[in-house]
Amino acid sequence: MQGQALPGFRDFYPDELALRNYIFATWREVARRYGFHEYDGPPLEPLELYTDKSGEEIVQQLYAFEDKGGRKVALRPEMTPTLARMVGAHAQALKKPIRWFSIPQLFRYERQQRGRLREHFQLNMDILGEASPLADAELIAAALDIMRAFGLGPRDVQVRMSDRRVLRTLLLGRGVSEGQLGAAFAAIDKSERDPKDVLAGKLREWGLGKRETDAVFEIAALRGLDAVLTALGKVAGGEEAGEPLRQAVGALAAMGLGEFVAVDLTIVRGLAYYTGIVFELFDTGKSLRAVCGGGRYDGLLKALGGVDLPALGFGMGDVVLGELLKERGPADQASTKLDAFLIAVSGEDVAPLLKLAHELRDRGVAVEYGLRPAVIRKQLELAAARGAPRAIIVGPDERAAGEVVVRDLKAGAEERVPIAKLVQGFFH
């Protein structure tokens, strides 16, 4: 068939859009509870906004082209650089800490697979102008409360937390050099997916000896805050480096969210700009990709030529979340639900039916009726097919008495209801 959507792009049929709207509404509701304000930016941006700071992986996935004015442009693959630019431009005037959220559609030319498309919507929640680890805990709590609002608990999802400052301190303390840190981060990032000998080979290419390579794997295997703090206790500057992570984990426990949290140093994150605590949210079976990922990016605003503001945030995509909700979330988040279907007994009843339908709609009641003349049986069939809970039958005899018949389409019971009562209070 002609005219299909491009690979990795979605048509949203009403059921799919109902799920999307339910996701967006829940995102907005939790963001509101946390005192975040909504913003947006342009979907098309100057290419250079991404080429320097986002990191190689995302740059390779850009939808980039030259516009008719000869400008190099790209569809936004993420929101963080746009946010950094917007805040940077008005930083003096904005009251700190800035707590903003957005739900942009993003575009990445990726290989299409489960949970990974070429466009997706992503909730972004960010705090700018706050260096305290309570801000890190605040954002992780918001991400977890979104999961809870969808009915998911610690048996369904876990947040895996790490801190690039911790990784850095541990690696330097175990003999890895500054110049080798990037390679060591990459090996730790891939340590759950790639075979150990392949990773060891890559580390050797970067000049890491056996002792340092072993240290990289030992660090990657650390699980839980206590194990990480113990390891930090054995290297220079370790205690200081572990403090933000310790405080953020403590704050989450104080909020009663401790059961969701797993300290796990294999969370490095692909994007280049992260500087501190980083985290990802996964389904506990880890059968899906990360639902959400984020962290602290204290250097990005300055690097983009703006002010020097600490910043942190996360992105939560609608694709993986949608998969998760289809598996375990609350069922049936259907779109529009009809309150009633109106039925005209004869041609004479059509005009009074239209009047009644319009009055009900004015009062916020969702009603429908057949758009062409049909016998009552056909109209009742249509009412059932549209999922209406009741039919309102407008006929000459009842009309003469100022009434209609309301039939419960599930139970089959009927009652005569005065039209005035129907309009004024039956549905509320």
Q: State the minimum distance, in angstroms, from the CB of residue 289 to ligand HAM.
A: 6
Q: State the minimum distance, in angstroms, from the CB of residue 224 to ligand HAM.
A: 23
* Residue from 292, 325, 342, 392 in contact with ligand HAM (CB under 6 A): 292
Binders in 69-88 for ligand HAM, by CB under 6 A: 78-80
Note whether 389 and 408 are within 8 A (CB).
yes
Sheet containing 64-66: order of strands = 44-46, 72-75, 64-66
Q: State the minimum distance, in angstroms, from the CB of residue 352 to ligand HAM.
A: 51
Peptide bond into 154 cis (omega under 30): no
Binders in 308-327 for ligand HAM, by CB under 6 A: 313-315, 317, 319-320
Beta bridge partners of 262: 160
Binders in 142-201 for ligand HAM, by CB under 6 A: none
Tell me the window of 177-185, 292-300, 372-380, 417-425 that interacts with ligand HAM (CB under 6 A). Answer: 292-300
By beta carbon distance, the residue nearest ligand HAM is 317
If the CB atoms of residues 117 and 183 are measured against ligand HAM, the closer one turns out to be: 117
Burial class (CB in 10 A: 0-12, 13-18, 19+), 91: middle
If the CB atoms of residues 136 and 398 are measured against ligand HAM, the closer one turns out to be: 136
Note whether 77 and 270 are within 8 A (CB).
no
Binding mask 95-114 for ligand HAM (x = CB under 6 A): -------------x-x----
If the CB atoms of residues 238 and 294 are measured against ligand HAM, the closer one turns out to be: 294
* Residue from 22, 73, 74, 126 in contact with ligand HAM (CB under 6 A): 126
Q: State the minimum distance, in angstroms, from the CB of residue 57 to ligand HAM.
A: 9
* Residue from 294, 322, 370, 395 in contact with ligand HAM (CB under 6 A): 294
Binders in 264-283 for ligand HAM, by CB under 6 A: 271
Size of the site for ligand HAM (CB under 6 A): 23
Q: Which helix H or strand E contains 344, and what residues bound it?
A: strand 340-344
Residue 97 token pair: 């800490």
Q: State the minimum distance, in angstroms, from the CB of residue 140 to ligand HAM.
A: 12
Binders in 318-377 for ligand HAM, by CB under 6 A: 319-320
Q: State the minimum distance, in angstroms, from the CB of residue 313 to ligand HAM.
A: 3
Q: How far apart are CA 197 and CA 27, in angstroms?
A: 42
Position 382, amino acid: L
Tell me the window of 117-125, 143-151, 250-258, 325-333 that interacts with ligand HAM (CB under 6 A). Answer: 117-125
Dmax (CA) of the chain: 96
Tell me the window of 154-162, 180-188, 194-202, 288-296 that interacts with ligand HAM (CB under 6 A). Answer: 288-296
Q: State the minimum distance, in angstroms, from the CB of residue 271 to ligand HAM.
A: 6
If the CB atoms of residues 245 and 271 are measured against ligand HAM, the closer one turns out to be: 271
Three-state DSSP class for 259? Answer: helix
Beta bridge partners of 119: 107
Q: How far apart are CA 150 and CA 203, in angstroms?
A: 42
Q: What angle do CA 428, 353, 357 make, to 5 degrees?
A: 35
Pick from 338, 290, 346: nearest CA to 143 = 290
Q: State the minimum distance, in angstroms, from the CB of residue 108 to ligand HAM.
A: 5
If the CB atoms of residues 110 and 339 are measured against ligand HAM, the closer one turns out to be: 110
Q: What is the DSSP string of 99-157?
A: EEEE--EEE-----BTTB-SEEEEEEEEEES--SHHHHHHHHHHHHHHHHHTT--TTTE
HSE-CB at 66 with a 13 A cutoff on CA atoms is 3
Q: State the minimum distance, in angstroms, from the CB of residue 285 to ligand HAM.
A: 16
- Output the CA torsion sign for 60, 313, 76, 111: positive
**Which residues here bind ligand HAM, judged by CB under 6 A?**
78-80, 108, 110, 116-117, 120, 122, 124, 126, 271, 290-294, 313-315, 317, 319-320
